Structure 1
Amino acid sequence: MNTQVATTDHDMWQALATHANDDVIRCVASQERLERSLPMATMLAVWGVFALLTLVNPHRDVLGMIIGAVFTFFIAKLVGRGLRALILEPSRRIRYNRAATRLRAQVQAGGDVAVGPFSWTIGAPGSMAITRSGEVVMLDHAHQYEPLRLAPHQIADVRVERQSQQITQTHHGGRTSIAGLGGSFGMAYTMGGRSTSVTSTVDEYVLEIRYQMEKNGPVSTVTVPGGSDRRVVEELCASIRRLEA
């Protein structure tokens, strides 16, 4: 009798979560479209202005067009960085934080949680927890936010992987000058004799869970991004390894 009640509660929660997370799916798809289309539209607009000014300039020459193209390239890069800092990153942070909070609440309501819930916004929002019955419960983008519940015997392996990325920033000495010549303007950038490069290594940690839904079936992998916080994913990894049916 208790087993039937638990199964019914599980099915009801799964159906409710799947229906409720349609909004999360639309949110992620909308943000991804914005991050693809806005930089492209901005780049086309900047180069469109340059092309228009070039066509209407009666004194255009090859050298002026080359200088203008180089200048437009740097302007486009600056505008792109500004859009990412002022629009795209804040939009992603606000929307994904809201979605992750919603997913976290659903995981919390989906069962008797013993560890977690843990949520993330890296890549796409998601959430997971471990129940007192020994199940790993997860809602993530890879499964289109349909609930994934893994019993201990379905987990084949769990580990923490480190991903390192080296970022190099180079600063050149130089100056930009603007001058008038023959009724038109020209711009030039004079390189200095010194440049400084700073290389930093950024480590990010990911929890990988390999699971097998059916006996002798295919093994799949689900990942939980932990960002730079290694402690969180290592504690989750240790908790999963000690699960008992």
Structure 2
Amino acid sequence: MSDSLTPQAAIAPFLRAGPPPDRTTAEGWQDWRRMRGTFVPAPRMTADQYAALSPRKRALYDLHRTATHVNLALQRTPMSDKVSALMSTRLRNNALDFEPGTRDGLMISGGGFQGKTATACEVAAEFEAVWRELHQQLLPPPVPGTRDLMVPVVYCKTPVRATPKGLCQAILDFFGEPHPKTLHLLIRSVREALKAHRSTALILDDITRLRMHRESDQDTLDLIRDLMDMNVTLVLIGVGP
């Protein structure tokens, strides 16, 4: 590599414009889905090539190399391949099930920093890409003058205090919907939002904030069971054995 860098490299293309996308909103999820996999790692360079760089270009290269280290691609493992295959199949099968009733969900557990969320989100993004392409080819376009927002995948984090109201509010926040005052209206708004946006997958992260043995959390467990009856594939992600 010579001391001359391309115009693109000279302006540090590895720097992100603005904050990272917030996957807990519909817009943020789409931003992440479109930008994932676009990072270009720093090129490999010999010691002589590195020494030949000017101080400024060497500093830029060091920054690019640092960005490469902190943005490493997700490494596939036999376990992640198994989870990906199972989740992909379940999302596809449930999306093609036109009968009302409970959909089989999926719980992904394991130790911290093992790629559970990254794996699940990647599978969901791949499914959404295919699902959107099918809808564009087979279904009529939106009626002019109307707002037809299709949201196949919904990603939420379980609230710190996992009450039924808090969980419903987290789901409505993803769509940018207002919060009704009563639990009954909250649940109805969640049901209507999932239906109106043609959502087929609902991912609830940090589900271990919900204590299965705690009596006060039983209502939230009942709500989660109800979500499985809303024609979406429920994917729960949490740290556990």
TM tier, smaller: under 0.3
Bigger Rg, which one: 1
Larger relative contact order, structure 1 or 2 (CA cutoff 8 Å, min sep 6):
2
TM-score between both structures, scaled by the size of structure 1: 0.22
Of Structure 1 and Structure 2, the greater strand share is in 1
